[in-house]
Structure 1
Amino acid sequence: MQGCDIQHNLKRAVAFHQGGEIEAASQLYLRILAIEPDNAQALHLMGVAAYQQGRCDAAINLIEKAIERDDTCADYHNNLGNACLEAGRAGEAAGHYRHAIRLQPDYGEAHFGLGNACYQNGDHQEALSSYATAVALSPGFAEAHNNMGIVLGASGQTGRAISAFQNALLANPVYMDALHNLADALTRSGDYGQAVAAYEKILQMAPESARIHAAMGNARHAQKNFSEAIRCYRRALAIAPDLPSAHNDLGTVHMDLGQLDAARRCYRQCLRLQPDHAGACNNLGILCKLSGKYDEAVRWYRQAIRLKPDFADAYYNLGHVFGRQKQILPAISCYRKTLSLRPDHIRAHAYLIRQLQHGCMWADLADAVRQLRSLTDEPIGKGVNAGVMPFLAFSISDDPRYNLAVSRSWCRRAFSHFQPVRGPEQDRTDAGGHSDDRICIGYLSGDFKNHATAHLMASLFQTHDRSGFKIHAYSYGIDDRSDYRRRIETGCDRFVDIRALTHRDAALRIARDGVDILVELKGHTEGNRMEICAYRPAPIQVAYLGFPGSSGADFMDYMISDAVVTPPGHAAWFTEKLVMLPHSYQVNDRLQKISAAPVSRRDAGLPDAGCVFCSFNEPYKIEPALFDVWMSILRQVPDSVMWLLETADVTGGELRERARKCGIASNRLVFARKISKKRHLARLRLADLALDTRTVNGHTTTSDALWAGVPVISMLGTHFASRVSASLLHAVGLGDLVAESTAAYETLAVTLAADPEKLGRLKGRLEKNRLRMPLFDTGRFTRNLERAYRFIWRRHMCGQPPISFNAGDAGRPD
C-alpha cells in the first residue's frame, strides 16, 4: 500500500467512523497499521474506536503509542484523558486534559473533561472552574452546563444548580439528562410544582419511562398530593412491575396515609425483588416502631445498616427506638453516628439533646444546644423550619418569641399543602343546620388511655351539660382497656376509634359527624395527628392541654388558657386567639382515686425521719442549676432527702455523681419506681414538700402532688410551660408558694422544712382548699369551659371572626 493509498484508506476509515460504522473503520485502521505501524493518526483513531467499544485498556495503549509518535496533538491527549477517565483512572485523566490545554488553551472539550476528572477526584472547586471555562469558550456547550449543575447540586448549591440545568436546556431543549436533573433539583429545592412540570415535559418525549413516572410520584408525595403520587407510582409499576424503588416509595405514601398493611406489602415486594434494598428495610423498621414492635424494628434497622453502613437515617431511626425503650446511651450513640455521617441532620441534633436531657447528661447538653441553635436560628427567624421540633423548643428556651417562631415555621413546612375537607355550605347558619340545636364538641387525641391527659380529663366528658352539648371523642391511640379509657368512652355520646383511618378519612368522618367545635388535645407532642386538623374538619378548632404553647398553625382558631400562663402581653406569642378561663386552664379530675392501702416510709425506701422533698417530674425537666439549688436545700436541712422518679440507670448515676460534687451523699437521693396511679398518689402523701422544675413545670405532676395533699413550691417563668404550676397553685389558694426568683424558691423551701408547725398549717390549708377552691372542682371548670364554647359558637354563627376573651366564672352551684 503506497502513501496515497494510506491517505485514501484513512479518509475512508474516518468516514466509516463518523457514520457510526466503528467495526468497518477499525478494519481499515488495522490495514493501515499493518503497512505503517508508526502512523500516529491511525493509532489514535484506532484507540478512539476501542474507547467507543468500551475497551478502555486497549484504547489507552493505542493512544499512548500515538502520543509517543506525536506529542504535539491536543486531540490525542484529550482522548487519552477520556479513556483513562472511563477506566476509573481520574488522576491520570486530569494530567492528560491539562496537557491538552497547555497545547491548546481554548480547547473547550479538554476543559470539560478536566472538570469531569476533578469531580470524580472530589475536587468540586476546580471542576466548577473547568466547566465555567468550557461554557465561556462555548456558551452552547449543553453538557458542560449540565455537569456544572451536577457539581453545584452535590455541593449543596441547589439554586445555582437549577440555573445551570436551565442553561443546558437553553442550549438543547430536548436534552433529557438535563431535564431530569432539573426536575430532581427542583424537587430538592421544594419547588414541587415546577418539578412536576419538568417531569411532565420528559414524559412527553418518553411516555413509557417508568423511572420518570416514579420520580414524579416523589414530587407529588412531597406536595402531600397522595392520590397523584399513588397514581404515578402505579403507572411506573404498570410499565416496570419489577422496579423495586417504586414499590418502596409507594409503600411510604401508604405509611404517611396511615395505611400500614398496604405499606408493609409494598416494602415486602421491594425486598422480594431486591433483597439488599436498605431503604425498604429501614421503612419496615419504621412500620414496626409505629406498631409498638420495638425489638422487630431494631432488627430491621440493623439489617438496613448492614446493607448500607453509611445509612444515616437508619442510625437516626434506631436511636428513636432505643429512646422509646429508655436505652439512653445506645440512643445517644446512634444520634452521634448519624451526625458523624450527616453533620447537618437537624433532627438528629434535636433528638440527641432530648436523650441528653433524659439522661441528665449536662456536661454535653449545653454544647449540643449551642450547635443546634447555630444551625437553625437563622432559618427559623426567616420562617423556615430546619427540623427543630416545637416540643423540644420550649424545653431549651423560655423565650416565647422563639417558641412561636419554631411552631409557626414547623407548621408552615408540615401543613401548607392541606386542603379543607369541608365546604362553606356545610356551615350551620341562623336560618338552618342541624335539627339538634346542641353544640357538638369533638375531642381529638391519641391519649384516651392510661396517660397524663386522661388522668386530668377523665371526669370532664361525663360532666358536660347534655342539654346544651353533644360530646364526641375521636381516638387514634391504642385501647389499653384501662379504667381511664372506659370512663372516657362511657362519658361521651359518641366515641370513635379512628386508628385505622387515614388523616383525611378521619377528617371526613369528623366533618360528616357534624362536629361544631373540634378540640385538639395533643398539639406538637409525640404521636400527634395534627394533619387531621390541617384538613379543617370543623368550623371552629381549639388547641388545648397537651402542648404548653402556641401550635403556630393557621388552622387552629383558639387556645384555652388563663391569665397566669398567658398574662397580658403574651397574646402576641400565639397564632390562636386566647380563651381565658377564670382560674386555671388545666382541668382536673375530682374523682381521681387514691389507694386506701397503707404505705410506710420504709415501704417506699425512705428514711424513718427527716424532711422528704420530692419531684416526680420526668428527668428532661431537671436542669443543672436547679438541681444544684435542690442540693443546697438538702445541705441546709439536716437528714432531708430528695425523692425522684426512677427512670434509666444512667440518669440515676448522673444525678448521684452531681450530688456528690455538691457535697451530698448519694443515699440522700431516693428513686421511686413507677407504680399504678392510685398507689402513687397514696405514697406521695409521705412527702413533706414537692419542689417544682423551672423551664418546664410540672403539669399533671403538680396536680397529683396537690391532690395528694403535698404543697408544691414553684417559680414563675416567662413562657407558658414555666408558668403552669403557678396557675395551679393560685387556683388552689396557694399563690404564696410561687417564688419570683431562685433565691426566694430556695429560702421558702428551707424555711418551711425548718418549721414543722408552719408546714403543718400549710398542709392543713391545702387539705381544706382541695375540695373548696376551683382547681379540683371539675363541675365548675366544665361550666366555665361551656361558657367559652357558647361564646365561640355564637360569634361563629353571627359570621364574626375569632377574638381573645375572658370566659368569666359560672361560680359554684347553689
Structure 2
Amino acid sequence: MSSAAHPIHDRLAQLAQQREFAQCLAQAQAHVGLQAEDAVAWGWLARSAFALGDGAMALEAAQRVCELQPGNAQAWTTLGDVRRHLGQLDNALAAFQQALQLVAAATPPTSQSQAALAVLSNKVGDVLYTQGQFEPAQKAFEQAVYLAPCFGQAWFHLGIARMGLGHYAQAQAPLEQALAHGHPPAQAQSALGAVFLELGAHRQAHAALSQALALQPEDTMVLNNLSIASQNLGLLAEAEALIRRKLALQGRDVNGWINLGNVLRAQARLDEAVGAFRHAMSLEAGNATGLMAMGLLCHETQALADARRYLSEAVASPAATQAQRLDAMVELASLHATMGEHGASETLFMEVLSARPHERKYWGKWLFALNNHPFKTPHQILEQYQAFATQCFGAATPLPAAAAPPRLAQAEKRRIHIGYVSADFTQHPVRLFLQPLLAHHDHTRFEVSAFANLSGPAEVLPVYQTMVDHWHFTKGMTDHEVAEQVRNSCVDVLVDLSGHTGGNRLDVFALKPAPVAMSWLGFGSSTGLAAIDYFLTDTHAVPAQDDAYFAEQAWRLDRPFLVYRPTAGMGDPGPLPALAAGHITFATLSRSIRFNDELFAAWAQVLLRVPGSVLRIDSKNMRDANLVRQTQARFAAMGIGVQRIQCGFHSPPWDVLRSVDVSLDCFPHNSGTTLLESLYMGVPYVTLSDRPGVGRLGAAILQGVGRPEWVAHTVQEYVDKAVALASDLPRLAQVRASLREAMVASPLMDEAGFARSVEEAYTRMLESRGQGVRAESGFLA
C-alpha cells in the first residue's frame, strides 16, 4: 500500500474543488494505472466517479481505498455514500458504522472528530430511516444533534424520524431547530406543515405550508397538504384552486383526485365530486381511500346500497393499509346503524376499538350509534361510556394552574362569563332551542361568548351575530389552543352544546379551562366525561333513578330543560286530516337509525287495531328505494299491506304534518326536534319513556306542554294509548284545534322565563363550586 504524497494529489484536489470532475477522473484513472496502490488517487477517482453519476466505477474505487487503507474513516464514509446511492442499504450501514468506530477510537477527541461523529451518526440514521427502522434512526439523529447542536440537517432528520414513529407532537421542536440552524426552509416548513396537520393545528399548518409554497411553488406535496389545511379551515375555494394546481402538474395522482373530490363534496357539488372520485379509481382500481370517499358520499346522499358496496370493498381492498381499513370499517359500522342493523354495526365497532382503543374519532361514532342500539341495557351503555372515558381521557391533564384572572384583579365585581361551545351556530336545528336562550340573556349580569368551531363569521347564521358579546372562531385550532383561549377570556361557565355529535370539542372540556363545565341540548345523553361538572336537565328528562348513568351531575331545572322557537313560515295546523281522508294517518319523521324490530312490531299492532289507518315514514333515509322496500317488507311480514306504509322525504315537513293525525315516537331512543314540531302543528304523539337520557326526551316534552297522559311506560301501554287517541275523532279534532295555543302558553315557549332559570342555574353552579358568587346579584365578587 502506498499513501506517500505525490504531486498529482494536489492537482486532483484542485480539480475536484473546481468541480472539474471529468478531468479529475481521467487523471486519477491514468495515475492508478501506473501506481495501483495509491489510495489517495483511488479516493479522488471514487469521489469524481460518484459526482459524475457512475456508481459502479465509484463503488469499485471506494472499495479499493478501504482495502488499501482499512483504518481510513473517510474512505469508509465514501464507500457508505456510494452504497447508499446504489440502494445497497445494509452494506452502506456497515460502512458508516465502520467509519464511526474508527473516528470514535481516535484519542483524544477533538472538535473535528466530534463533528465527524455527528455527520456519521446522521448518515447512519438516514440509512436506518430509509429501511423503516425509525426507532434506531431516531437514536442516531439524537446522537448527531447532541454532538453538533447547530447541525440543521440532523435536526430535520430527527423530526422526520419522529413523524415516522407517529410522534408528531415530539417532531415539532426538532423541525423548528432545523429551521433555526439553516436547513432549507422549504423542506423544514413543509415538514412542519405536515406535523401541524396531524396535530389538528390547521391554522399553523396553513401558515407553514404557505411559506413552503412561496419558496417552491410547484412542490406537489406542499400543494396537496396546503389544500387539505385550507379545506379544514373552511377555505374551500382556496383548497380547490391548490389541488387543481397539483393536478395540473401530476394529472395521474390518485390522492390528488380524491382530495379534489372531497373539496367538491364539501361545497355540495356532488356530481363533480363523484366524477373526481371515479377518475381516481380509474387510475387505481381498488384504492381504499377512493372507495371510502365514494361510500361516504353515497351515505350522505342516501344511496345506502351503493354506500354499503363501496365501503365493503374498501374494507376488503388488498391495497388498504391498516389505518385505511379501520377507517372504512368505522364508516361501514355507521352505515349499518343508519339502516337499523345494530348487531352488524356493533361487531365492526368492537373490532375497530379493539385494534385502536384510544382513537377518539372511533369512540364518538360508536357512542352515537350505541344510544340507538335497541338491545342494550342502561348498564351496558354506561360501561361503554366509562370505557371511552378511560381509554381517551384517562391520562388527560388539566391546564396548569394560572395566575388570578386579570379581570378579577381589575374590578371588585364583574359579570358572570358564559362560554357556549358548538359547531352549530348555523342553520342546524339546535337554533330552535339556542336562539331563544341567547336572545334573552341579561347582559347587565352575564357576559356571553361563543366558541364556534367554524372558520369565521360568514358561516354563522346572521340572527346569531348580535346575540353574544364575543365571537371566537376555533376551527383549525388545537384543543390546548382553544382551552387557553377560554381561560384567558376568564370564562366562568363553559357550556357544551354538542355531546358526541359532529364538530364537538369535548377534548377542550377534558382540559378543565373554566371553573364550571356543563353539557346541554345537543346529545340528549351523558358525554361520559367526569371533567364536565353538570348536565342541564329536568326531573322528567333525567329522573333521580337515572343519575347513576351520567358521568356529570344532573342539574335539574324546575321547568322543562329546553325552550322552543318555531321556524317561521310553518303555517296553520289546519283541520283534522282524518275527517276528510276517512282514515287515520300516523307518522314518524325520525331517522332510520332509530328503527328496530320491537318498534316496528308496536307500530304494526297499532295499524292492525286501527282499521284503514296508514303510517307515513318521512325522513331523508327514505330517499333510498332499497330501504323503502325493506321497510315495507318488514311490515308486510306482520300483516300490514305495502299501501299502508307510505315512505318519502319532504323538507320542510309542514305539509306532511298537516296531513297527519297522530305522531308515533321512536324507542328506545326518542325523536327530538320533530316532536316539538308535531305539537306546534297540532299533532299529538305517543311516547315510551324508558332508556335514560335519550329515551325520556319525548316524556319531558309532553310534561312541558301539560300532556302526561300521552306518555307510556310499557310497549303495550304505548300501543293502547296510540289506538285510544286514534279512536276518538271528536276528541282528536279538539286536540288539533287547541294544541298550538297550549304549546305557546306552556313553559316550552316561555323564552324569557327559561333564560332566567338557566341564568339562576349558572349562578348556583358557580356558588356550589366556591367561586365567590353573590347569588342575590348574579355577579362574581
TM, length-normalised to structure 2: 0.68
Candidates 452, 460, 465, aligned match of 2:429: 452
Structure 2: distance between partners of 1:564 and 1:623? 24
Q: Which residue of 2 aligns with 1:582?
A: 558
Helix, strand or coil: the match of 1:319? helix
User: CA shift at 1:239, angstroms?
Assistant: 4.3
Q: 2:691 aligns with which of 692, 717, 722?
A: 717
Q: Is residue 329 from structure 1 mapped to residue 298 from structure 2 by the alignment?
A: no
SS in 2 for 1:344: helix
Distance 1:574 1:765, change over 3 A: farther
Task: Give the conservation status (yes or no) of the 8 Å contact 2:96–2:124.
Answer: no
Alignment partners' CA distance in 2, 1:166 and 1:472:
45
Counterpart for residue 758 of structure 2: 788
CA distance in 2, matches of 1:386, 1:148: 36
Question: Distance in 2 between the 1:498 and 1:287 partners?
Answer: 26
Which residue of 2 is the match for residue 351 of structure 1? 331
What is the CA-CA distance between 1:769 and the residue it aligns to?
A: 8.2
* Cα deviations by residue, 1:292-323 (Å, 9 ceiling, x for unpaired): 33334444444555566665444434433333
Note if 1:545 corresponds to 2:521.
Answer: yes
Which secondary structure does the structure 1 equivalent of 2:671 belong to? coil
Deviates more, 1:235-244 or 1:173-182: 173-182
Quickly say closer, same or farther: Cα 1:447–1:274, change in 2 above 3 A: same
In 1, Cα distance between equivalents of 2:370 and 2:162: 30
1:246 alignment counterpart: 222
CA change 1:560–1:240 in 2 (3 A) is same
1:692 to 666, 669, 679: 666
SS in 2 for 1:379: coil
1:728 is the counterpart of 2:679: no
What is the CA deviation profile of residues 264-286 of structure 1, one whole-angstrom value per residue up to 9, with x for unaligned ones? 55445545555555555544444
- Give the deviation of 1:716 after TM superposition: 0.4
Give the Cα separation in 2 of the matches to 1:715 and 1:639.
28
Aligned with 2:328: secondary structure? helix
Across the aligned residues of Structure 1 and Structure 2, the Cα RMSD in angstroms comes to 6.2
**Partners of 2:207 and 2:452 in 1: CA distance:** 30
For 1:506 and 1:84, the matched residues in 2 are separated by 49
Equivalenced residue count is 710
1:356 CA drift (Å): 2.8
Question: 1:427·1:539 contact (CA, 8 Å) conserved in 2?
Answer: no
Distance 1:185 1:327, change over 3 A: farther
Aligned with residue 643 of structure 1, among 603, 616, 631 = 616
Q: In the superposition, relative to structure 1, how do residues 763 and 293 fare at CA in structure 2: closer, same or farther (>3 Å)?
A: same
* Correspondence for 2:104: none
1:547 is displaced (CA, Å) by 2.0
Task: Say which is worse superposed, 290-299 or 219-228, in terms of deviation.
Answer: 219-228
Unpaired runs of at least 5, structure 2: 35-43, 62-78, 99-118, 776-781
Aligned to 1:777: 747
Matches within 5 A, 1:88-167: 146=125, 150=129, 162=138
Give the aligned partner of residue 160 of structure 2.
184
Deviations, residues 419-442 of structure 1 (Å, cap 9, x unaligned): 99x9822359872446xxxx6767
Quote the residue 1:654 is aligned against.
Answer: 630
1:698 to partner: Cα distance? 0.8
Task: Pick the aligned partner of 1:379 from 337, 350, 358.
Answer: 358
Q: Which amino acid aligns with 2:647?
A: F
Q: State the secondary structure of the residue aligned to 2:306.
A: helix
1:339-488 → structure 2 map (5 Å cutoff): 339=315, 340=317, 341-345=320-324, 346-360=326-340, 364-376=344-356, 378-379=357-358, 388-389=364-365, 391-396=368-373, 399-403=381-385, 405-406=387-388, 424-426=405-407, 431-433=412-414, 447=424, 451-456=428-433
The CA distance in 1 between the partners of 2:546 and 2:502, in whole Å, is: 25
2:189 corresponds, among 204, 209, 213, to: 213
Q: Sequence identity, in percent?
A: 19
Contact 1:400 1:573 in 2 (8 A): yes
The structure-2 alpha-carbon separation of the partners of 1:749 and 1:298, relative to structure 1 and needing over 3 Å to count, comes to same
1:631-654: CA deviations, max 9, x gaps? 466567665543312332222122
**d(CA) in 2 for partners of 1:290, 1:531:** 24
AA at the equivalent of 1:400: L
Task: Give yes or no for contact 2:606–2:719 (8 Å, CA) kept in 1.
Answer: yes
Shift of 1:665: 3.6
Instruction: Quote the Cα distance in structure 1 between the aligned partners of 2:33 and 2:209.
Output: 57
Question: Partner residue of 1:197?
Answer: 173
Q: 1:342 to 1:404 in 2, by over 3 A?
A: same
TM-score by length of 1: 0.66
CA 1:162–1:337 in 2, change beyond 3 Å: closer, same or farther? farther
After the TM superposition, which of the residue ranges 639-648 and 259-268 deviates more from structure 2? 259-268
**Distance in structure 2 (CA, Å) of the matches to 1:264 and 1:408:** 40
Which digits, 9 at most, give the CA deviation of each residue in 1:451-482, with x for residues without a partner? Answer: 53334566556666788678888988899x9x
What are the residue-to-residue correspondences of 1:227-242 with 2, within 5 Å?
A: 229-230=205-206, 232-237=208-213, 239-242=215-218
> Which residue number corresponds to residue 38 of structure 2?
none
What residue identity is the alignment partner of 1:619?
S
1:195 and 1:219 in contact (8 A); partners too: yes
2:587 maps to a residue whose letter is C
Partner SS, residue 588 of structure 1? coil
Task: State the match for 1:674 in structure 2.
Answer: 650
Query: Any stretches of 5+ residues in structure 1 without a counterpart?
Result: 1-5, 36-44, 63-79, 98-106, 113-139, 806-814
- Partners of 1:55 and 1:248 in 2: CA distance: 35
Per-residue deviation, 1:58: 9.2
Decide whether the 8 Å contact of 1:254 with 1:262 is kept in 2.
yes
CA–CA distance in 2 between the matches of 1:450 and 1:289?
19
Aligned residue in 1 for 2:37: none
- 1:244 Cα deviation after fit: 3.3
Q: Please say if residues 398 and 512 of structure 2, whose CA atoms lie closer than 8 Å, have aligned partners that are also in contact.
A: no
Per-residue Cα deviation, 1:180-213 (whole angstroms, up to 9, x for no partner): 4542242355544531232245446643352123
Match of 1:627 in 2: 600
Q: Which residue of 2 aligns with 1:73?
A: none
Greater displacement, 529-538 / 244-253: 529-538
Measure the CA separation in 2 of the matches of 1:625 and 1:764. Answer: 30
Hey, what's the Cα distance between the residues in 2 that align with 1:191 and 1:477? 28
